[in-house]
Amino acid sequence: MIFLICLNLVMARMLPKASYLNLASRIAVEEKIPVNLLTAIVKKESRWNPFAVYGGKKGYHFASKSAALRKVTELRQAGKKNINVGMMQVNLQHHKKHSAEQLFDAECNLRYGARYLKKLHRQFGSWRKAVGYFHAGCKTKRYAAYIRNLSCTVPD
């Protein structure tokens, strides 16, 4: 009996990640981005949490959109401007096409992040540079370390 309860808890945690992995893979194929690259970025940025928030030099992982939105409001009220949200950690200050509420939708966030990554790839001609600009505005040391820490080989 205890085994079945534990198994159910493990499966409950795995199912959302599997569905997000399927969603990210589908979007990567549709947007013509290497699947392993997009999924590695999501894993690194948010650990597959659609309600991840980064602000005030600290990362937060929430279980609900409402909790994540409360944190965004709190960070803004504290004067923080550099706030990243969702699975791809889209920066609210630099990407104003969607609201924080919209970007806590996994598909919206993944699609927007994928399209931005694809735009950077077209602009700079390499996935390495695109990932660097996506993550850190291509601050060489920061993006080189970021690429080293991705769980995939970044194609050129």
Domain of 62: which CATH number? 1.10.530
Decide: pTM greater than 0.95.
no
Q: pLDDT for 58-110, tens place per residue?
A: 999 999 999 999 999 999 999 999 999 999 999 999 888 999 999 999 999 99
Quick check: is 154 in a domain?
A: no
Sheet with 90-91, edge to edge strand ranges: 58-61, 52-55, 84-85, 90-91
Q: Average pLDDT for residues 2-25, to the nearest whole number?
A: 61
Q: What is the pLDDT of residue 133?
A: 83
Q: What is the pLDDT of residue 139?
A: 56
Quick check: is 155 in a domain?
A: no
Quick check: is 29 in a domain?
A: yes
Quick check: is 115 in a domain?
A: yes
Quick check: is 156 in a domain?
A: no
Residue 130 or residue 51, greater confidence: 51
Q: Interhelix angle for 106-124 vs 127-136, to 10°?
A: 120
Q: What is the pLDDT of residue 80?
A: 95
User: DSSP state, 63?
Assistant: S
Per the structure, the count of domains in the chain is 1
- How far from 94 is each of 84, 104, 116, 130, 145, CA to CA, in Å? 10, 16, 12, 16, 22
Q: Which domain holds residue 124?
A: 2-149
Quick check: is 106 in a domain?
A: yes
Rg of the chain over CA atoms, in angstroms?
Answer: 16
Quick check: is 53 in a domain?
A: yes
pLDDT at 2 over 90: no
